[in-house]
Structure 1
Amino acid sequence: MRQFTPSSAMAGAPLNRFHLALLAGCSFIMFFDGYDLIVYGSVLPTLMNEWSLSPDQAGWLGSAALIGMMCGAVLLGSLADRVGRRPVILHGTLLFSLAAVATGFAPNPDVFWALRFITGVFLGGVIPNIVSLMSELAPASKRHTLTTVMLSMYSVGSIIATLIALWVLPLLGWQAVFFISGASLLVLPVLYRQMPESMAFLMSRGRVREARHLLTRAASAADHDSIDWTVPPATKRESVSVAELFRSGRALGTPMVWLAFGMCLLMVYGLNTWLPKIMIASGFDLGSSLQFLVVLNIGATVGALAGGWLGDRFGNKKVLVAFFALAVLSLVLLGMHPASVLLNALLFVAGATTIGTLAVIHAFGADYYPTSIRSTGVSWCSAIGRFGAIAGPLLGGSLLALKLPPEQNFLVFAAPGAVAILAVLLVISPKPAIRAETAKTNENSENYLAVKN
């Protein structure tokens, strides 16, 4: 009888309720990631007035959560390759939810900065791990689609944050916008019952009984006798070194993926934080400016979903190059004072190809690294990319302090897209041996599915 690995059996399983439940749980977390991080851009004009903040001070305040995410990705994201995805995801979600609610009680900018930093630390540990978990447990044929659907919830959270700000700010003040983050705590008991562990992690730690149970949940008709449940001794207690990210033909690819992440995040957080203020400086009122932020994030949702569909068909690398090119074009045109209809259309395209691209680039990073170092790889992509995320709010604050014309503000935010195109094009493929190993895994998954059918 032909033997298959547990991971190939998981990858060959048909899409079912287990995968949809996993998608719902991870999407829920991603939704609140979008809400908690983008809510700052929605309340920024109010905070600047209430606390008399200069543009530079407001930019630094906006970077607090992003600095925290960088630290969290390094300290907590890689931890999952040693202790498991599940505990990092669940405990991190609890703690970032509590910190987000506490932000509403901040009496001054210093306390606000500290609480936003703590929120970011735990978000930074959680997000790379739900990306890795979805990548490992989703059916191979639907992996990109499910990953990008999950990541698109970031934009949905951003839209809801902006709509809530439009409604709640005039009635209850900026504090209430943060208190609403507490809704995430209500679903945590369900997550604790349903969130699975990584199959690769269970097998590497010799937890075969749990691995068998996981396979039964994901593929109830699986023939366990056709699966090799042997635990490789060399991987039972291995820790993952960051140096692994540069081996096996990844010496150039890893820094280029990092650079692409950084440029993407610079555009994402720069626009989401400062678009309302840039539009106010262009002559629009606060209400209209917040509505432009909604259009931007509606485009982001569509872009993320389209990116997943296109990635499954043409590959994430081609999709990233096309999206970044459209981002550059749309941002340059936004600075040319277009008419109202064209303005909203360009904001939609800009959202789809900047914020929407964030979903595609996470899937691109997850695909680039093998399972044994995937959480470490995605976590370091996220951590190094946070330098770009931190630079976004700071850059926007500096631009407004200089009082540049709107067209120059948009031109500056378009430049990182051109850098990202070059970085993605320079990401080299793994060595032939690695490609052969990947092809063999995909073949095993397809063969397992064919045998079961």
Structure 2
Amino acid sequence: MGDEAYTYTVDEALLSLGFGKFQTLVLAYAGISWLSEAMEIMLLSFVGPSVRTEWGISDKQESLISSVVFAGMMIGAFTWGYVSDNYGRRMGFLFTALITSLAGFGSAIAPNYICLVALRFIVGVGLGGGHVLATWFLEFVPSPNRGTWMIIFTFFWTVGTILQAAVAWVVMPLFGWRWLVALSSLPSFLLLLFFNTTPESPRYLCKGDKTDEAMLVLTRIALMNDSSLPPGVLGSHSLQEDHASSSNVNLSESSPLLGTKTRNGLKVFLTLLSPKLVRSTLLLWLVFFGNAFGYYGVVLLASELSGRSSKCNSNLTRPSHLKDDASLYRDVFLTSVAEVPGLLLAALAVDKVGRKASMYVMLFTCCAFLAPLVWPQKEVVTTALLFGARACVTGSFNIVYIYTPEVYPTSVRSTGLGVASAMGRIGGMLCPIVAVSLVENCQQTEAILLFDLVIFVAGVATTLFSLETKGRDLIA
């Protein structure tokens, strides 16, 4: 017994290596994907009204341009999560970047409405894999400050939303929506350009019994961070960990609690709904739906409520797309800036207050900001309320992306996040119907009440989570 070499886990190795130059480069690469997805989502605020003007499409057709993106994201979220858990994180985000960039650029030259809708659906399929890069980055971060670093990672999303609003403000009046769509596809091309420099996750490699390859990655981290690995060797046997325990585990194999390696989609799904995970899984699906419905709804409301009150309170019959474009760009830009305080608040709370409390407080506060919009308000008040609502729902949405991978074991981590994200995409598909159709038909009261109800239910679901993951090591 005494002759056996000391073994350490991936968590212990990362703790010894610290957060340094290597993780910074991983953060930058993964962050580009988050920035890309944010730009593509924000694009929906500008493309719909412009296409309606150019091609004379109806309100429902305008809504479909947004809805098909979320439909594609729902399919992509599960698909790329499954690919990532079975063929590697790198394989997962390679195809997401390839599909997003090519279909995104193709959208800019779409000759007609049908082609545009089809290409935006394909863009959505690619965007559905954004969570793979979030999981990839998370698996390189030491556990004590994981929440804070993941909030910093999600800051790239905020940069993307602000950048898209600013670019639209400049590009749309001069060159039109096609140039904006083309420019929005550039970040995904950057991911392809630097793909060969990206390493595989050592946690994924250990799960696949590729301990030697995991050691090469950990050694590379040590060299770049000018640090050293713990004495001994990376363990080759997994230790059983109870779901409520916070002790370290070895990540070289799948957890015995949840079975062996995932081989097919049905087994993955059954794992997510196993007795140990079913409560967390179902609640996460509900919370993702509510966060996505609320977040994308607030994004679209910023454009749909801009100048809408005067139309609904008058006998004017002019088309709503003739509203003041400068007002639209300003309102969308200002509400996008709201994500900065939302992220800062989340960063302060996530590792101190905890994941659960941070989420439900922000969701309930978002409801409070939206409530006065049940009645039409002055433009400045509407913008201010949407600013506050967006700050809160942004903070909550980003924290649930941190919390979810911490709930699942390595063997189904990316898939678990992907399926939960897919449930969120259903919310994304439905919110354009509410934000565009109801508000276009002067049913602002009904639209806001529905948003408030869905977000409130998500807040209640958050309070029912049985697990607080603050400060815990990732599950094997």
| TM-score above 0.5 | yes
Deviation at 1:348, TM superposition (A): 2.1
- State yes or no: 1:175 paired with 2:178: yes
What SS does the corresponding residue of 1:31 show, helix, strand or coil? helix
- Give yes or no for contact 1:13–1:218 (8 Å, CA) kept in 2: yes
Structure 1 equivalent of residue 448 of structure 2? 410
- The share of aligned pairs that are identical, in percent, is 26
Contact kept, 8 Å, 1:6 with 1:199, in 2: the verdict is yes
User: Which runs of structure 2 are paired with 1:31-42 in the superposition (5 Å)?
Assistant: 31-42=35-46
Distance 2:446 2:189 in 1: 44
Indicate the residue corresponding to 1:345 in structure 2. 384
Q: 2:133 aligns with which of 115, 130, 133?
A: 130
Root-mean-square deviation over aligned CA pairs: 2.5
For 1:115 and 1:90, how far apart are their aligned partners in 2?
A: 19
After superposition, the C-alpha distances for 1:302-347 in whole angstroms (9 at most, x for unaligned) are 3124213311111111010011011101111244555565544322
| Correspondence 1:65-104 to 2 at 5 A | 65-104=69-108
Asked whether the 8 Å contact 1:85–1:129 carries over to 2, the reply is: yes
Q: Which residue of 2 aligns with 1:302?
A: 341
- Sort the Cα spacing of 1:64 and 1:186 in 2 relative to 1 into closer, same or farther, 3 A: closer
Partner AA of 1:289 in structure 2: L
Pick one of 459, 465, 475 that aligns with 1:421. Answer: 459
Q: What runs of 5+ residues in structure 1 fail to find an aligned partner?
A: 445-453
The TM-score with structure 1 as length reference comes to 0.89
Deviates further, 321-330 or 138-147: 138-147
**1:224-239 paired onto structure 2 within 5 Å:** 225-230=231-236, 235=254, 238-239=262-263
Aligned counterparts, 1:241-390, within 5 A: 241-283=268-310, 285-338=324-377, 342-390=381-429
Quick one: structure 1 residues 427 and 50, their matched pair in 2 at CA, closer, same or farther if it must change by over 3 Å? same
Contact 2:171 2:179 in 1 (8 A): yes
Q: C-alpha deviations, 1:20-63, integer Å up to 9, x for none? A: 11111111110010001210212222111112222222112211
2:229 corresponds to which of 219, 223, 226 = 223
| Structure 2 match to 1:15 | 19
The answer on whether the counterparts of 1:134 and 1:146 sit within 8 Å (CA) in structure 2 is no
Matching residue within 93, 104, 109 for 1:105:
109
Secondary structure of the residue aligned to 1:279 is coil
Q: CA 1:44–1:93 in 2, change beyond 3 Å: closer, same or farther?
A: same
Structure 2 match to 1:448: none
Runs of at least 4 residues of structure 1 off by over 6 A? none
Q: Hey, what's the Cα distance between the residues in 2 that align with 1:207 and 1:28?
A: 28
Query: How many residues get paired?
Result: 435
Q: 1:19 to 1:175 in 2, by over 3 A?
A: same
Normalised to the residue count of structure 2, the TM-score between the two structures is: 0.85
C-alpha contact 1:299 1:356 (8 A) present in aligned 2: no
**Retained in 2: the 8 A contact 1:131–1:366?**
no
Q: In 2 relative to 1, CA 238–60 (structure 1 residues): closer, same or farther, beyond 3 Å?
A: closer
Name the counterpart of 1:395: 434
Contact 2:298 2:386 in 1 (8 A): no
| Pair 54,302 (structure 1): closer, same or farther in 2 beyond 3 Å | same
CA 1:234–1:177: 2 relative to 1, 3 Å: closer
SS at match of 1:137: coil
User: Are the equivalent residues in 2 in contact too, given 1:276–1:286 (CA < 8 A)?
Assistant: no
- Structure 1 distance, partners of 2:446, 2:182, is 37
Q: Distance in 2 between the 1:421 and 1:46 partners?
A: 35
Matching residue of 2:211: 208
Greater Cα offset, 139-148 or 406-415: 406-415
* Counterpart-to-counterpart distance in 1, 2:42 and 2:168: 11
Aligned residue for 2:320? none
The answer on 1:151 being equivalent to 2:154 is: yes
Q: CA deviation at 1:377?
A: 0.8
> Residues 206 and 291 of structure 1: is their aligned pair in 2 closer, same or farther, counting only changes over 3 Å?
same
